[in-house]
Amino acid sequence: MDERTSLIQNGPASTSNAKLYLAVFSAVLGNFNFGYSLVYPSPVIPQLKVEDNLDLRMDTTDIAWFGSVFSLGAAAGGLGAMLLNDMIGRKMSIMISAVPSTMGYLLMGAAQARWMLWLGRILTGIASGMTAASIPIYVSEISSPGLRGALGSCPQITAVFGSLALYALGLLLPWRWLAIAGEVPAFVMLVLLCFMPKSPRYLISKGRQQEALKALKWLRGRGANFTDELKKIEQSITSQGYISWSDLTMPYYYKPILIAVAMRFLQQMTGITPILVYLEPIFHYTKISLEPKYDAALVGAVRLLSVVTAASLMDRAGRKRLLFISGFLMFLACQSLTMYTHSTPYPSINITHHDPHTLFSIQQSHRVQQNLPFDSVALIPLLSTMVIIFGYAMGWGPITWLLMSEILPLGARGKASGLCVGVSWITAFGLSQGFMHVVETYGLFVPFLFFSVVDVINILFTALCVPETKGRSLEEIENYFRTGRTFTINEN
């Protein structure tokens, strides 16, 4: 044996992993709802800008709040889940997220005033934050060692499926029916999880060994050596230490934590959240030959393709190489969008609730835009946005989450992951809140110029601060931060 040899030997392989796959599918439906909820404003905002009900019609300020309050809810939900995961378990935390999700979509589907839409977005954000913090832990802890890597990519893939489903339904349904459709995956998730086992690791940590043994037997099948796996989990939990807040001042702890927090901050500073949330409005601001709703659906399909590609390359190409490629692609795409929107300005329409000619002006603008003759140059915004999404999903999207789970010390993982979630979504709120105001005041080229500068910073940060963890055991990664700059473990 060496340090890359699995400590958990499952014995004879199970005749089928069908029950494990069913449990993972049941859980990641929450990520499907997360992806759906995140981009919900994209096809909805153009409809609310021309809504007949003046109590629902939105101007730039209203749109900014509608797009951004989701992030505040997600930050609160993520931090809350860090406590619930240990108090009531991972599965129950995921199931509870169905409550704010259902309430939020009911509010938006039946909304008669703007505050109902905003409150609905906050509630769906809370649900999304809870699932984003709970589902990866649950999937990791129920998966067998040989399948943990493949199943660990399922949460992000299903989140992308959720966004793509929203874009596709946005081509067919009005905004109220989109809200009603959002309740379906949460309800299905809740029903299925009622029949799924709790995390064996959580059960053992609570002294419920018999329930843990029953859960492992159900997940692994009769042919697996789940008794031996149960003993290994018990040994692992017994050996885990507890650290205090004062211990976080040690370089061994604060260096990986600072890297993880900085990566979550820089990930959001690439502008991915406002780009996804305001995707259709962005296309409305550019002279493009296709209708923005079709452009959004195309971008969603590209995002799905890129996530699947990244999952297949993660362990072959290496983390840093994918981060470099990701940052470089996003930089090129943001620069092309900056130059295009600066040299080809599209007159914006600032909507107010007191302008009786607003509806006519918007409809006339959209009609003129759709009747423009086809111009290949007008495809630059669409292609550039596709490259941004593709580049993000190749590196700075999934790898920041992966590295966070790899480099954070085990004893500090609960506190530090909560800090990462909070920083991430608070940053997303600030960008989403200010994006439309900056666009209305200065033009679309300003935020994309800013995002391109951030991409350069990300490339430099990757080169100087991020370790390459490909092929390294968790013990070697911990040794890297303990000793300063070496992965090699001195056995003496």
Please state the rounded mean pLDDT for residues 18-39: 90
Give the CA-trace dihedral at 283, 40, 429, 91, to 10 degrees.
Answer: -150
- Does the residue 209 lie in any domain? no
One domain for residues 137 and 261:
no
- Does the residue 438 lie in any domain? yes
Stretch among 117-131, 142-156, 325-339, 462-476 having the lowest mean pLDDT: 142-156
Of 166, 196, 226, which marks where a domain is finished?
196
Please state the rounded mean pLDDT for residues 227-231: 74
Which residue is listed with tokens 């960008």? Answer: 431
**pLDDT higher at 326 or 11:** 326
- Does the residue 12 lie in any domain? no
- Does the residue 113 lie in any domain? yes
pLDDT at residue number 454: 94
One domain for residues 153 and 295:
no
pLDDT classification of 295: cutoffs 50, 70, 90? low
Residue 14 DSSP label: P
pLDDT at residue number 15: 45
Contact of 393 with 160, CB cutoff 8 Å = yes
**pLDDT higher at 136 or 34:** 34
Instruction: Supply the CATH number for residue 356's domain.
Output: 1.20.1250.20
One domain for residues 363 and 427:
yes
One domain for residues 289 and 423:
yes
Contact of 382 with 283, CB cutoff 8 Å = yes
Please state the rounded mean pLDDT for residues 33-38: 90
pLDDT at residue number 304: 76
Please state the rounded mean pLDDT for residues 160-169: 86
Of 175, 196, 217, which marks where a domain is finished?
196
One domain for residues 268 and 119:
no
**pLDDT higher at 437 or 82:** 437
pLDDT at residue number 185: 92
> Which residue, 62, 118, 310, 98, is CA-closest to 194?
98
- Does the residue 28 lie in any domain? yes
Q: CA-to-CA distance for 452 and 482, rounded, in angstroms?
A: 34
One domain for residues 427 and 490:
yes
The pLDDT tens digits of the residues spanning 87-144 come to: 888 899 899 999 999 999 999 999 999 899 999 999 999 999 888 878 877 887 787 7
**pLDDT higher at 251 or 487:** 251
Residue 188 pLDDT > 90: yes
Residue 180 pLDDT > 90: yes
Contact of 335 with 380, CB cutoff 8 Å = no
Contact of 37 with 127, CB cutoff 8 Å = yes
- Does the residue 242 lie in any domain? no
One domain for residues 171 and 252:
no
One domain for residues 370 and 299:
yes
Residue 143 DSSP label: S
pLDDT classification of 236: cutoffs 50, 70, 90? low
Q: What own/partner pairs with CB < 8 Å and gap ≥ 24 does 248-253 have? A: 248/412, 248/415, 251/481, 252/409, 252/481, 252/482, 253/409, 253/412
Residue 73: CB atoms within 10 Å = 26
Q: CA-to-CA distance for 492 and 476, rounded, in angstroms?
A: 15
Please give the C-alpha separations between residue 446 and each of 137, 180, 229, 441, 455, in angstroms, as whole numbers. Answer: 38, 36, 55, 10, 15
One domain for residues 413 and 482:
yes
Of 168, 196, 224, which marks where a domain is finished?
196
Please state the rounded mean pLDDT for residues 178-207: 89
One domain for residues 169 and 272:
no
One domain for residues 175 and 285:
no
One domain for residues 285 and 190:
no
Please give the structure tokens belonging to residue 5. Answer: 């040899």
Please state the rounded mean pLDDT for residues 415-441: 82
pLDDT at residue number 124: 94
Q: Which domain holds residue 351?
A: 247-492
Q: What is the mean pLDDT of the chain?
A: 78
Please state the rounded mean pLDDT for residues 134-163: 77
Residue 227 pLDDT > 80: no
pLDDT at residue number 57: 87
Residue 179 pLDDT > 90: yes
- Does the residue 13 lie in any domain? no
What's the pTM?
0.73
Q: Could you give the number of structural domains in the chain?
A: 2
- Does the residue 386 lie in any domain? yes
